[in-house]
């Protein structure tokens, strides 16, 4: 009888281990200890029976000896885990499950759902239960995992999706993965061709047909990396990109800074616009738009006059990391910025919307003022230019802007405002005239 109770207890632990996958290691340890205890008690009981000739065991042993042993041999768990184990049927325990960077969530209709991408197209995976959805996800991923076969039938589209999962997802920012997914759709004309059969001439003709130079260069870099990985993995015998050439696109025109006159009228216009404080924050502190949007009340220390930059809002309004590691910084809170800080007690300082909307409003303000060639990023460039004009050392400005290299900051310093340049020229002329 006593061992039936022990077995029942272990079966309950096993069931909990299956349901609470995140803590199965602790539960497995508990079951292992219980098994060791049961074997020891069974041996002692068998030995006692053989010596005393008794066919049964005192039922009191069940409560006074064996059952306390069960409790003392179960390892302690954190309180949060204990609460989950005490209610294994709780729906909240299975709200989110991740498998190979895929998140399984429950829809409003009760079904469980996730998604994968193949050839740049989204495929939705469903299940009546979380477990069923996970099984369906594994089957779907297996079709992608097995696209690389021995007879060389793998298509370019299949390999691009495999390449993305292997070398990009989880290793680069989500915004970069989104851009790559969008770019992969541009290979539709050749995505159905077999990886081992496409030739250098076919690839050269394909890239020659891409009209926009910058997009052509991005597509070339992406596909070349995918083919290089395929070659190193011995999926193809030679790399056709060895003789494919694409001219480098001309560099984008560098953002210009506002002149002093433009800045004056722009600041006045911002004071009348409902998004003006956001634009002035970028202008006065040299922040990127995503950095300004992510600012919370806790990031601003008015007493010490400091602002901490540690996060950003990406192009899809998601909270993300900053652009680079050096972008995480603490910078001075300048005097004129105090006038544009929203008076909030908690949460983000600025309302969240889309980047397109912010840029549209910015373009409207500039158009009304007759200012051309200015974007939101130009405000950051203007801040750097004013620092150069004020004689702030480049190394200091590098830290304020969060530039990863001093060269990036010096590029601004070599393109200071023409008005300032003329002023310096006049000073030199006056010096030699006297």
String of DSSP letters for 105-174: EE-TTS-EEEEEEETTEEEEEEESSHHHHHHHHHHHHHHHHT-S-TTS--BHHHHHHHHHHHHTTTTS-H
Residue 364 confidence (pLDDT): 94
d(CA 390, CA 24): 62
Q: Do the domains 156-243 and 260-425 sit in the same CATH topology, yes or no?
A: no
Rounded average pLDDT over 360-365: 94
Which fold would CATH assign to domain 260-425?
hpI Integrase; Chain A (1.10.443)
In DSSP notation, 2-55 reads: HHHHHHHHHHHHHHHHHH-GGGHHHHHHHHHHHHHHHHHHHHHHHHHHHHH--S
* Residue 419 pLDDT grade (very low, low, confident, very high; cuts 50, 70, 90): low
Rounded to an integer, the average pLDDT of 367-377 is: 93
Q: What is the pLDDT of residue 417?
A: 59
How big is the chain by its Cα radius of gyration, in Å? 32
Residue 355 above 60 pLDDT? yes
Give the domain ranges of the chain.
2-91, 97-145, 156-243, 260-425
pLDDT of residue 287: 94
Band (pLDDT 50/70/90 cuts) for residue 76 is: very low
Residue range 298-305: average pLDDT?
A: 93
What's the pLDDT at 255?
72
Mean pLDDT of 294-298: 93
**How far apart, in whole angstroms, are the C-alpha atoms of residue 431 and residue 428?**
5
Q: What is the reported pLDDT for 368? A: 94
Q: What is the mean pLDDT of residues 62-86?
A: 41
Residue with tokens 């652009």: 323
248 pLDDT higher than 80:
yes
Residue 423 confidence class, pLDDT cut points 50, 70, 90: confident
Q: Residue 81 — very low, low, confident or very high, per pLDDT cuts 50/70/90?
A: very low
Q: How far apart are CA 72 and CA 395, in angstroms?
A: 62
Query: Can you give the pLDDT at residue 409?
Result: 81
Q: Work out the pLDDT band at 323, boundaries 50, 70, 90.
A: confident
Give pLDDT tens digits for 111-150.
999 988 765 578 899 999 999 999 998 888 876 655 455 4
| pLDDT for position 293 | 92
Q: Which residue has the higher pLDDT, 339 or 101?
A: 339
CATH number at 156-243:
1.10.150.130
What percent of the chain has pLDDT above 90?
Answer: 43
Q: What is the pLDDT of residue 356?
A: 84
Q: What does the pLDDT read at residue 388?
A: 87
pLDDT of 56 > 50? The answer is no
Residue range 378-388: average pLDDT? 91
Q: By mean pLDDT, which of 233-237, 247-251, 275-279, 282-286 is the weakest?
A: 247-251
Q: Find the helix packing angle between 355-369 and 276-285, rounded to 10°.
A: 90
Give the helix/strand (H/E) hosting 313.
strand 312-313
**Mean pLDDT value across the chain:** 80
Work out the pLDDT band at 79, boundaries 50, 70, 90: very low
Averaged pLDDT, 42-67 = 51
- Mean pLDDT comparison of 185-194, 323-332, 350-359, highest-scoring range: 185-194
Which residue has 């006059």 as its token pair?
A: 305
Q: Report whether pLDDT(296) > 70.
A: yes
């Amino acid at each position: 009888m006593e061992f039936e109770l022990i077995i029942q207890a272990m079966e309950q632990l096993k069931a909990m281990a299956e349901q609470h996958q995140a803590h199965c290691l602790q539960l497995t340890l508990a079951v292992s200890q219980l098994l060791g205890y049961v074997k020891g008690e069974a041996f002692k009981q068998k030995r006692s029976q053989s010596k005393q000739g008794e066919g049964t065991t005192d039922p009191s042993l069940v409560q006074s000896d064996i059952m306390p042993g069960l409790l003392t041999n179960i390892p302690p768990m954190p309180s949060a885990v204990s609460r989950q184990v005490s209610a294994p049927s709780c729906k909240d325990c299975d709200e989110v499950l991740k498998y190979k960077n895929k998140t399984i969530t429950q829809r409003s209709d009760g079904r469980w759902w996730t998604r994968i991408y193949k050839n740049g197209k989204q495929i939705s995976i469903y299940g009546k239960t979380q477990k069923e959805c996970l099984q369906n996800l594994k089957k779907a991923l297996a079709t992608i995992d097995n696209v690389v076969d021995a007879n060389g039938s793998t298509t370019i589209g299949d390999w691009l999706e495999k390449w993305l999962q292997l070398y990009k997802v989880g290793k680069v920012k989500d915004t970069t993965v989104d851009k790559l997914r969008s770019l992969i759709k541009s290979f539709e004309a050749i995505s159905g061709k077999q990886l081992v059969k496409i030739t250098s001439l076919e690839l050269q003709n394909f890239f020659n047909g891409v009209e926009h130079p910058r997009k052509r260069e991005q597509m070339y870099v992406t596909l070349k990396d995918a083919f290089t990985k395929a070659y190193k993995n011995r999926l193809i015998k030679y790399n056709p990109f060895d003789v494919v050439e694409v001219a480098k696109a001309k560099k984008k025109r560098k953002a210009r800074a506002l002149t002093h006159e433009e800045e004056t009228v722009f600041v006045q216009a911002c004071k009348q616009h409902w998004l003006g404080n956001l634009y002035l924050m970028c202008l006065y502190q040299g922040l990127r738009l995503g950095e300004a949007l992510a600012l919370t009340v806790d990031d601003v220390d008015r007493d010490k006059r400091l602002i901490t930059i540690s996060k950003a809002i990406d192009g899809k309004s998601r909270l993300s990391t900053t652009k680079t590691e050096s972008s995480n910084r603490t910078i001075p809170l300048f005097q004129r910025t105090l006038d544009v800080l929203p008076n909030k007690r908690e949460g983000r300082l600025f309302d969240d919307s889309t980047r397109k909307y912010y840029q549209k409003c910015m373009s409207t303000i500039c158009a009304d003022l007759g200012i051309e060639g200015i974007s939101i990023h130009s405000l950051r460039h203007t801040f750097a230019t004013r620092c150069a004009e004020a004689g702030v050392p480049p190394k200091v400005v590098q830290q304020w802007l969060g530039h990863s290299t001093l060269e990036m900051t010096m590029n601004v310093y070599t393109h200071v405002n023409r008005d300032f340049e003329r002023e310096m020229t006049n000073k030199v002329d006056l010096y030699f005239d006297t």
